[in-house]
Structure 1
Amino acid sequence: MAEIQLKNVSKRWGSFVGVDNFDMTIADREFLVLLGPSGCGKTTTMRMIAGLEEATDGDIVIGGRVVNDLDPKDRDIAMVFQSYGLYPNMNVYENIRFPLKVRKVDPATHDERVMRAADMVELREFLHRKPAELSGGQRQRVALARAIVREPNVFLMDEPLSNLDAKLRVSTRAQIKNLQHELKVTTIYVTHDQIEAMTLADRVVVMKRGVIQQVGTPTEIYDRPANTFVAGFIGSPAMNLMEGTLSGGTFSGDHVSISGLSGPDGPVTLGFRAEDAAVAETGPQAEITAPVYTMELLGDATMITVKAGGALVSVKASKDYRIEIDEPVGLNIPAEICHLFNQKTGARIDV
């Protein structure tokens, strides 16, 4: 069993706080993604779990054992980094086998374990090659196989796909998801890419400046963001956010008026997803009327963006919809798909 508990874990360097009071339990066999922009503390959190950074405060518990004072090699974890870290003078077989030699695992078991790991990442035909003869995607798969062969209790993955091109990222992402399902190993995955987080995770931890903003399933975080930071970070495109005033159930702002909302009167930030709104005829029936700022053809849809006051607002239209830049367009924003946030704190307003 490899349940991981982080009990009020913090990391400080002098007056700088890298991670502030990180407190949560990661279930056995769970795939948890730490998500946030650069400098938010996600990699520092992972490095503390690995033992590569010492926690300033708090306890790290793996499988019921406090590991704060244990060396990385004694924590029964395997790490996959953004840089592949392969030995250039060894072929793929020896790179995968290397952790077994270092840990003095019975040599009689090496071949079977290397072959099993190589098969899981579809590398058997490349075992004789040196890293220099492999593509970026193949090298990343060698790094994955080298972690798998250890048969650890915990996988830690630090932005393992960021060096790959877009097509390889999609295929390798699917491979990682399938591997975790097969191996049933607790996995913590660090990324700044919200699409990776949404597609891979059982749960996502969104971080900002060392502080947890929200923890939940990808669906929970997408459908009910806890604040404007999460709303503006999750989604492609991110949630539209507009500042205005709520009075008697009607939101009013630059170029926008939406009725039928519930919430306290006063200044608020209104949010809605591009796919939940619709292009409409201009006129009084449209909640937003503004000139087109840009039109993007996505293949399965057309993204229309308008500039309403100081905000850029995007809406998905049908794939054959066409309109010229600067032409006025109306947007329908049903009240039931809107989110309201406190304009001062950014926190979600639930009514």
Structure 2
Amino acid sequence: MAEIQLRNVGKRWGSFVGVENFDLTIADKEFLVLLGPSGCGKTTTMRMIAGLEDVTEGEILIDGTTVNDLEPKDRDVAMVFQSYALYPNMNVYENIRFPLKVRGIDPATHDAKVRRASAMVELDEFLHRKPAELSGGQRQRVALARAIVREPNVFLMDEPLSNLDAKLRVSTRAQIKNLSHELAVTTIYVTHDQIEAMTLADRVVVMKGGVVQQVGSPTEIYDRPANAFVASFIGSPAMNLMKGTVSAGTFIAEHVEITGLNAPDGPLTLGFRAEDASLAGEAQGQINAPIYTLELLGDATMVSVRVGEALVSVKADKTFRAAIGDTVSIRIPSEICHLFNAEDGARLGG
């Protein structure tokens, strides 16, 4: 069992706040993703759990034991880094075996443990090779196997896929997903890639400026973002956000008029997902504007228009054809709209 508790954990360097009041319990065997842009505090949070950064305030508990003062080696966690951190003079077999030697594990068990870990990440045919002879994806799998062989209580993964190309990211992501199911070990995974977060996580923690913005399942965060920042960060494409004014239940902005809203009069930000809207007949929709750009995605065509300073997108059928500058009409039912406070971005109306 490896339940992790972060009790009002904070990290400061002088007057700079890296992480503020992080309070969360991570369940045994849970796959938790820390998601946010660069500099939001997600890696710092992971490094505090690992013991690589000191905690300025608060407590970190693993299995009910406070670990603030424990050395990294005594916390029974295994880390997988973005940079692989392999030993270039050792072959794959010895790289995977190294944690067993360092921890004084019975040498008679090493071969079986190494081969079990390498089989899990499909490295058996590469055990004799040096890291320089491997591709980026293979090196990352060596790093994964080296963490697996430890049989730790907790896996910590810091952007492990960011150095891989798009195709390798997809296949390695699937491998990590399968491994997490097979190993059933508490895992904390740091990424700025919301697709990784949505596909891997049991729960996602969205962070900004060292502060937790929302915690929830991928579905909860996608369907009911807590604020405009979360809405803009989750989804591919991100949620469309438009600034405008509501009067008597009608939202008005440049090229836009949406009626039937349950919202107070005054300025607010309105959001909707590209896949929830659709193209309408001429002048029959709630947005009527010239096409700014068209993107053919294969399964759909992404049509974008400008609304004030915002670029607003809608998914059209893959057969849709038009030219930039042609006027389109976009249908946005009021029930698909998300409303946010114009000043602080907080969600309105539950």
**What residue number does 1:334 align with?**
333
Per-residue CA deviation, residues 163-198 of structure 1 (Å, 9 max, x unaligned), is 000000000000001001000000000000000000
Q: How does 1:96-175 map to 2 (within 5 A)?
A: 96-175=96-175
Specify the alignment match of 2:343 in structure 1: 344
Q: CA deviation digits over 1:214-272, x for unaligned, max 9? A: 00000000000000000011111100001111122111111100111112121110000
Question: Unpaired segments of 5 or more residues in structure 2?
Answer: none
Q: Secondary structure at the match of 2:275?
A: helix
| One-letter amino acid of the counterpart of residue 314, structure 2 | V
User: SS state of the match for residue 350, structure 1?
Assistant: coil
Distance 1:240 1:91 in 2: 49
Shift of 1:130: 0.7
Deviation at 1:309, TM superposition (A): 2.0
Query: Take 1:310 and 1:81, find their aligned partners in 2: how far apart are those partners?
Result: 38
Question: Considering only aligned residues, what root-mean-square deviation do their CA atoms show, in Å?
Answer: 0.6
Alignment of 1:61-76 (within 5 A): 61-76=61-76
- Counterparts of 1:96 and 1:343, CA distance in 2: 52
| Partner residue in 2 for 1:178 | 178
Identity over aligned residues, as a percent? 79
Deviation per CA, 1:288-323: give whole Å up to 9, x if none: 000000000000000000012221110000011011
Provide the C-alpha distance between the structure 2 equivalents of 1:86 and 1:310, rounded to a whole number of angstroms: 46
- How much has 1:282 moved relative to structure 2? 2.4
Q: Distance in 2 between matches of 1:308 and 1:26?
A: 41
Deviations 1:49-84 (CA, angstroms, capped at 9, x unpaired): 000000000000001110000000000000000001
Structure-2 residue corresponding to 1:90:
90
Q: Which residue of 2 aligns with 1:305?
A: 304
3-state secondary structure, aligned to 1:82: coil
Count of matched residue positions in the alignment of Structure 1 and Structure 2: 350
What does residue 24 of structure 1 align with?
A: 24
Query: What is the CA distance between 1:281 and its match in structure 2?
Result: 1.9
- Structure 1 CA distance, aligned partners of 2:306 and 2:209? 30
SS at match of 2:244: strand
Following TM superposition, the consecutive aligned residue runs of length 4 or more in structure 1 with deviations greater than 2 angstroms are none
SS at match of 2:320: coil
Q: Give the TM-score, by structure 2 length.
A: 0.99
Secondary structure of the residue aligned to 1:70 is coil
Aligned partner of residue 346 in structure 2, secondary structure: coil
The CA distance in 2 between the partners of 1:16 and 1:309, in whole Å, is 35
Cα distance in 1 for partners of 2:282, 2:38 equals 41
TM-score (norm 1): 0.99
Partner AA of 1:296 in structure 2: E
